[in-house]
Amino acid sequence: MFGNNLKYLQTLLQKQPLQLIRRNIPPRTATEASLLHPTNSPDRQINSGLAPYTGEWTRTQIVHLLKRTTFGASKQHIDALLNLSLPEAISLLLYSDVAVPPPPINTYNGIDEPPIFDPNVPLGETWVNAPYTDEVRVVIGRFISLKTWWIDNMLYQPLHITEKMILFWHNHFATQAGELFEPRFTYRHLSMLRQYALGNVRQMARAVTIDPQMLVYLNGAFNVATAPDENYARELQELFCIGKGAGSGYTEDDVQTAARVLTGWTVSDLDTFQPIFIPFLHDTQNKQFSSFYNNTLITGQAGAAGETELDQMLDMLFATTECAKFICRELYRFFVYHQIDANTETNVIEPLAQILRDNNYNILPALETLLLSEHFFDPLNRAVVIKSPLDYVIGLMREGGVQTPAPPYYNESWSLGSSIISFLGDLQQDPGDPPNVAGWPAYYQEPQFDKLWISSVTLTNRLALIDVLLYGLMYGDNQAVKFDAITYTQTLDNPSDPNTLIAEAARQLCIYDLSDEVKLHLKGILLDNQTSDYYWTLAWEYFVANPTNTDAISLINYRLSVMYQYLLHQEEYQLA
């Protein structure tokens, strides 16, 4: 058995379809480390802490909560939370049951010329357990199917935080799916992230460590006693568990020692791709760690007992005070704000880390405390973060009620998914493929942080997406999905009044109220630059009375589309 696995490893190293590239990453410089995990941030003079929030619970606070914990604040979800108290809303977001989505399917057979054809998977059936193939066109077909499936999960998410947590952990335990070029690996990796998304962080770290995608991506599959590979051992400490903050004190010797602990873990083969431990590839010598880890000694184990060394090392990592603080800082930067000043460290991070430790690294108590806190709802934390591309694209579609074709739809799904993936790539957040193992720089790189999402190119692409969705995103055989301005407006409480129409749309789409100047301009669009409100009221009421009249539809749709285009181009819509 072991001989066959060793031969497999040697073969795997030479296979190009997986694009396996060894990452001989040298130790990072002090400058690089400070960029990854900054410790000196300007003081925002925000003094609120983790005491429960007792202020107003209105549409403003609900939109803030939804934009941070889901992708966009859909009207359906806003209305649902308006009928609940804040504790009830948080309970629903964190504790309600959520069904696991069925796996992605073959949506690609017949696409392109010559057409893609997956001989092992009929159209409409899943490919996640199909045999390995090195047919590049089929692998690309599966990849787009996978990413479209992931996008659909975000687009049609229930009133729950799960999809946002999957993205959080995907960025935290970052891998690059395109580099491995094996979507079956990636599907299982995403399923693992879903399984542990709201569970125990230590258990998740173990699952990630022996996950086939991570084993291959950071060379754990090739880490053997005779040639220890430090890649994963370094990132496990620097990016996943400890960080490089002021309280971090692990050494280069600790990285090398951790690599020896991890020797022997690999993947079985390209069809079953299960994690396995091969004892004769494991370093059986003792492993001595530094004083930062209380001089922990892991006694070398031979045979099958060698795999228990991984659990001992994870216990050591998670026993440090810094591990809980590091994870809480990551949560904070993702869900609240990118900079952590001295007050926030004292009032939020430290007590939150204590909650995490007291609950044996189960994430829910800490997350619940943060989302219920006065700090989370502090006005200084509202509308201060530039939306990530996924928040922007998926949020715009959800908030605008954009509907994809009802299933079953196969080639159409693949084509539409390709278009959305292309937009996300242009905005620099292709799900599944962050730029490197540190994740997307907007979540960690000081001093820009989320400002990295905006450039002259990406801002142009953001505004272009609004225009495309308002007038129809084309895909497949001359089909389109769109932000239907009329349908959206019909969901508002009093669309015949231009003032209440603009106010309600702005409250849902933007957290901050629009300026009077902007509102006046929006109203001018609806009134066709006339002065009296009835120029809009009469036009709307005529449409309501004659809903099939093409002239009425054209007039209303034009004014509304131009109005929403201007509203969504405002700076306020870029913020969450």
DSSP H/E element including 405: none
DSSP for 304-362 reads GGGGHHHHHHHHHHHHSHHHHHHHHHHHHHHHT-S---HHHIIIIIHHHHHHHHHTTTB
The C-alpha atoms of residue 429 and residue 518 are separated, in whole angstroms, by: 30
Contact status, residue 446 vs residue 35, Cβ threshold 8 Å: yes
Cα 227–Cα 231–Cα 233 angle in degrees, nearest 5 = 90
User: Hey, which residues does 323 pair with through a beta bridge?
Assistant: none
* Identity of the amino acid at 565: Q
Q: Within a 10 A sphere around the Cβ of 365, how many other Cβ atoms? A: 15
Q: How much is the pLDDT for 198?
A: 98
* Identity of the amino acid at 572: E
Q: Output the six-digit token pair for 464.
A: 């272009």
Distances in Å between the Cα of 106 and the Cα atoms of 239, 263, 411, 432, 443 are 35, 37, 9, 19, 34
Determine whether 305 is exposed, middle or buried from the number of CB atoms within 10 Å of its CB (0-12, 13-18, 19+).
middle
What per-residue string of b and e applies to 428-459 under the rule 16 or more CB within 10 Å gives b? Answer: bbbbbbbeebbbbbbbbbbeebbebbbeeebe
The C-alpha atoms of residue 382 and residue 337 are separated, in whole angstroms, by: 9
The C-alpha atoms of residue 81 and residue 62 are separated, in whole angstroms, by: 7
pLDDT profile of the chain (576 residues), mean per 10:
38 34 34 37 78 96 97 96 98 97 96 92 96 95 97 97 98 96 96 98 98 97 97 98 96 98 93 92 98 98 98 98 98 97 96 98 98 97 96 96 82 92 96 97 95 95 94 82 95 96 93 90 95 95 96 96 96 94
pTM beyond 0.85: yes
Strand 275-277 to 265-267 pairing: antiparallel
Q: How much is the pLDDT for 42?
A: 52
Q: How much is the pLDDT for 43?
A: 58
Q: Output the six-digit token pair for 316.
A: 């050591």
Q: How much is the pLDDT for 33?
A: 38
* Identity of the amino acid at 566: Y
The C-alpha atoms of residue 387 and residue 68 are separated, in whole angstroms, by: 9
Contact status, residue 388 vs residue 67, Cβ threshold 8 Å: no
